């Protein structure tokens, strides 16, 4: 399925060779993830936000009981609708194929006991974010979320305290 990007379990970084500064960026984000539950990566299109998120996901996902990577949130919500993606999101994390969103509270309670890694790429606005996840009360303190977006303000609206910030730039 196009919405959920299943990544290779091999953690080869060959595809990152030649990208100037990528190793430092990855180390910075890993450092942020060691003490912050939600990290936002923002910057202009084409500067490597998804590349960074992919690299972190590939390296970290074996350490988590549940993993979910949703690329192009903006396009996928437009194409399939938020309800479908929410069902996919929670179904993937809970490993339930025929998820009933009517039992979402029960699913969230179950997920709270798992260490989860979630990447949401290209979240366009606060409504898309809220439509997908509603809130983060169901994540425990060991879970981690990475959100990529072009506009910093969207991340400020999502992450209450934006002490966690990474800008990709062409310097």
CA-based nearest residue to 114, from 143, 87, 155: 143
Phi, psi of 91 (to 5 degrees): -65, -45
Identify whether the C-beta of residue 131 lies closer than 8 Å to the C-beta of residue 124: no
Q: How confident is the model at residue 17 (pLDDT cuts 50, 70, 90)?
A: low
pLDDT at residue 120 above 50?
yes
pLDDT at residue 94 above 80?
yes
Residue 21: the pLDDT is 66
Q: Is residue 132 part of a domain?
A: yes
Domain count of the fold of the chain: 1
Residue 4: the pLDDT is 36
Q: Is residue 6 part of a domain?
A: no
Q: Is residue 2 part of a domain?
A: no
What is the domain extent for residue 61? 20-168
Q: How confident is the model at residue 15 (pLDDT cuts 50, 70, 90)?
A: low
Residue 23: the pLDDT is 82
pLDDT at residue 104 above 60?
yes
Q: How confident is the model at residue 18 (pLDDT cuts 50, 70, 90)?
A: low
Distance CA 54, CA 119 (A): 9
Other beta carbons within 10 Å of 6: 9
Identify whether the C-beta of residue 69 lies closer than 8 Å to the C-beta of residue 9: no
């Amino acid at each position: 399925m196009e919405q959920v990007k299943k990544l290779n379990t091999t953690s080869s970084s060959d595809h990152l060779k030649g990208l100037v500064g990528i190793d430092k960026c990855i180390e910075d984000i890993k450092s942020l993830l060691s003490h912050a539950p939600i990290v936002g990566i923002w910057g202009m299109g084409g500067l490597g936000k998804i590349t960074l998120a992919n690299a972190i996901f590939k390296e970290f996902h074996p350490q988590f009981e549940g993993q979910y990577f949703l690329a192009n949130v903006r396009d996928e919500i437009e194409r399939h609708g938020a309800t479908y993606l929410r069902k996919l999101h929670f179904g993937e994390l809970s490993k339930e194929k025929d998820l009933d969103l009517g039992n979402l509270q029960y699913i969230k309670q179950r997920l709270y006991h798992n260490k989860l890694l979630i990447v949401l790429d290209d979240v366009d606005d606060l409504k898309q974010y809220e439509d997908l996840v509603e809130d983060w009360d169901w994540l425990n303190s060991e879970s981690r979320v990475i959100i990529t977006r072009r506009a910093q303000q969207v991340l400020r609206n999502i992450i209450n305290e934006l002490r966690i910030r990474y800008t990709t730039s062409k310097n």
